A = this chain, B = another copy of it.
């Protein structure tokens, strides 16, 4: 739980006793100022006409350009559904096919978690934040350096995320580079994530032949295939395209197995604007939409209504150097524009936000992580991936930054919640009372006290002390405080979120690397 307890004993005395009394009562869930799945959509970077233009351009692209490199199985599935294989090997999609598949596609998806308290309702423009990525480095904050990421790092990230109210799911953010065998890496990725958190887990599968073993591990964790199919708590993040407009042959094969095996898929199109996608924001969104529509046809041709997330993830490029960049205003617009397209189609959608180009959790990391996180939320993105802990243009993951993201996302969620306007919040009666014959201020009124808890998000690590208090408290450093919090989380929590008997069974059947 985020620490909402008052950390500063100093301050005004007016109403303090009443405030502390109020604090003593635990807050019920529906009283919390923010929660997963609040509805966004107050920010609309695209006009309705713009949305239509992008939609039409994407349909034209699918009809006239199509996608190359489908696997033989995919060609059969797609042409069987009505797509057309050209002499050039590209599969083209008639408009009516796309429209028909949109009609049957899964809409009001609940993404399950091992603990149902953490289930995610992806209907409408409900907003959730979580990790994701394939970072190959850990950011070593103390040493001001980068090092290879390991399985233990991944497990620790899961354990930390499990404690953070505002990180709503855990998609694998980094690669366990200490596991040489790729199948073992895929299996251990699932184990390390699920052993660390009971929130929804997203994972990747590096080879089609790994898909069934990964499903088997998920079934085993669930207590059986039927149990997993009923509440699939692991989704597959699937880079089914190699932009521009080519299927990723092997990833498509993995996807087919996962769809048939009952695992939700994130249809992930990660073009880079200026390299593998058009350099314009509108063009990059259009191509990502076209590619994800192709994926959506593919999935629904296999299993109509199968849970799939429309994963338009266009990224930015620093056109001066050709290097990827994720912390720019252009990135925030790419993601927010995509969120609006998801809402237009009415399908659960996801995009990337909250990542930084900075190498360390410094001021740049703060402004970059907030910019796209808050805009994606305001735009009503269902699943905001890469929202926590991501540095160095996706190459590094940072545990301290993950912890601080709880504060960042908390404030972003407060913005998503927005402004309630009604007779009570307009407060005209209070204003009259306070001003005419009243105390001349609103401190200590009943309504002020009740709003203290229900409407305000307090930072866990963000510091609101006055300069005087701060100096008297030995000038606490944000990162040092965060390192302490990290150490406390990792020291005090149980190492695995599995029943011992289940854990022993998993270890018998799968090559688990983490020590028991």
Contact = CB atoms under 8 A, between A and B. Distances in A.
A46 B418 CA distance: 8
Contacts of A345: none
A53 interface: yes
Nearest to A52: B421
A440 B425 CA distance: 56
Given A275-B443, A319-B451, 11 more contacts: A10-B321, A11-B322, A57-B428, A90-B436, A137-B467, A244-B442, A246-B435, A328-B459, A329-B411, A364-B463, A371-B415
A431 B278 contact: yes
A99 to B, nearest CB: 19
A432 B65 CA distance: 6
A404 B470 CA distance: 23
A283 B323 contact: no
Given A283-B426, A359-B463, A463-B358, A442 B11 contact: no
12 contacts: A43-B43, A54-B421, A145-B471, A244-B441, A245-B435, A286-B426, A318-B458, A358-B462, A367-B369, A374-B375, A393-B466, A395-B466
Contacts of A404: 363-364
A378 interface: yes
Contacts of A10: 321
A485 interface: no
Interface stretch (A203-211, A330-338, A490-498): A330-338
A54 to B, nearest CB: 7
Nearest to A280: B425
Nearest to A14: B322
A325 interface: yes
A367 B366 contact: yes
Interface of A: 6, 8, 10-12, 14, 19, 42-47, 49-50, 53-54, 57, 60-61, 64-65, 68, 88, 90, 137, 144-146, 244-246, 274-283, 285-287, 316, 318-323, 325, 327-330, 332-333, 337, 357-359, 361-371, 374-375, 378, 392-393, 395-396, 401, 404, 407-408, 410-415, 418-422, 424-428, 430-432, 434-436, 440-443, 445, 447-449, 451-452, 455-459, 461-467, 470-471, 475, 477-479
A455 B374 contact: no
A422 B144 CA distance: 45
Nearest to A244: B435
Given A53-B421, A411-B371, A462-B368, A430 B278 contact: yes
Given A46-B419, A54-B421, A426 B479 contact: no
Nearest to A49: B421
Specify which of A6, A276, A330, A408 lies most central, judged by the most chain B CB atoms within 10 Å of its CB.
A330
Contact of A427 (B145, B283, B458): B283
A425 B334 CA distance: 13
A428 B54 CA distance: 10
Nearest to A435: B245
A323 B367 CA distance: 24
B65 A431 contact: yes
A411 B364 CA distance: 11
Nearest to A438: B244
A451 B274 contact: yes
A466 B323 contact: yes
A426 B462 contact: no
B425 A282 contact: yes
